[in-house]
Structure 1
Amino acid sequence: MEQHTSIEIDAPASRVWAILADAERWPEWTRSVRRVTLHDGVLEVGATATIDQPRIPTVRWTVTALTQGQSFTWESGGAGARTIAHHRVETMGENRCRVTLSVSQQGPVGSVVGRLYRGLTDRYLAMEAAGLKGRAESDWTPPPGT
């Protein structure tokens, strides 16, 4: 079971990527996330993060793929369930890009969980896309070094 959303953003892909890759600051621009702790301090393959979201158990994720400036994937799971979340930024012009966010649930337990959380997942994906767009199109300035 896979759910996704895409949104076009009037900002350079590099700006959008800087916001998206700074996962610990996500609670500043989306109400779907209360806290992100990036345990290894940097978003890279093998890094782990714990995410606390309203109405969802706190989950530990592991980054399994990353193309700097373009996309990353992280996964979480246990017995009978695996959740995979993809985050992609595609350049559409000098000051425009498209972001696609997706979540898939795999395994016998994962498919049940996916159906139970389907509506909430759709709402959270939409909130995250809209929040990212709002932050990227605002006069917000990324912190130094990002």
Structure 2
Amino acid sequence: MEWSASVPISAPPEVVWAVMAEVEAWPEWTASVRSIVRVDPGPLHVGQRLRISQPRFPTTVWTLTELVERSVFVWVAGGPGARTTARHELEPSGAGTLVTLRLTQQGPLGLLVGALSSKVTKRYLELESTGLKRRSEERAAGVGERG
């Protein structure tokens, strides 16, 4: 089961990437995330674990499995019978960036959870994409820059 949302952002990829890579700040720009804590310290890196708390879902530890600077990162969570993969992809588009967010549920339990949470998942992808757009465009314009 898979969901995705794409959004054009009027900001260069390096700005959008900087916003996305500040994972602890996500709750400032999307209501789909309460908190993100790096279990393993340091900048984003393959193998890094992050504890993510979201409304309506249990707090979950995700593992970063793929990382291409200013282009893509993928994190995965799950256990026996369920695997959730979240892909965050950026590509230059004209003077801005096209971002695609994709969430995939696999495994027998994953498919069941996906079916039961489909409406919430779609809403969260919408919140994340519109929040990322707003924050990135503000950052590109120099509004509300982090110190």
| TM-score, normalized by the shorter chain, greater than 0.5 | yes
Match in the other structure for 2:93? 92
**Any stretches of 5+ residues in structure 2 without a counterpart?**
none
Greater than 4 Å deviation, 4+ residue runs: none
SS of the aligned residue for 1:105 comes to strand
Aligned-residue identity in percent: 46
Cα distance between partner residues in 1 of 2:93 and 2:134: 18
Letter in 2 for 1:130: T
Query: Aligned match of 2:144 in 123, 128, 140?
Result: 140
Match in the other structure for 1:124? 124
Deviation at 1:38, TM superposition (A): 1.2
Q: TM-score, normalised by structure 1?
A: 0.94
Contact 1:19 1:142 in 2 (8 A): no
Cα distance between partner residues in 2 of 1:45 and 1:87: 14
Deviation at 1:140, TM superposition (A): 2.9
Match in the other structure for 1:31? 31
**Any stretches of 5+ residues in structure 1 without a counterpart?**
none
Match in the other structure for 2:79? 78
Match in the other structure for 2:101? 101
Letter in 1 for 2:4: H
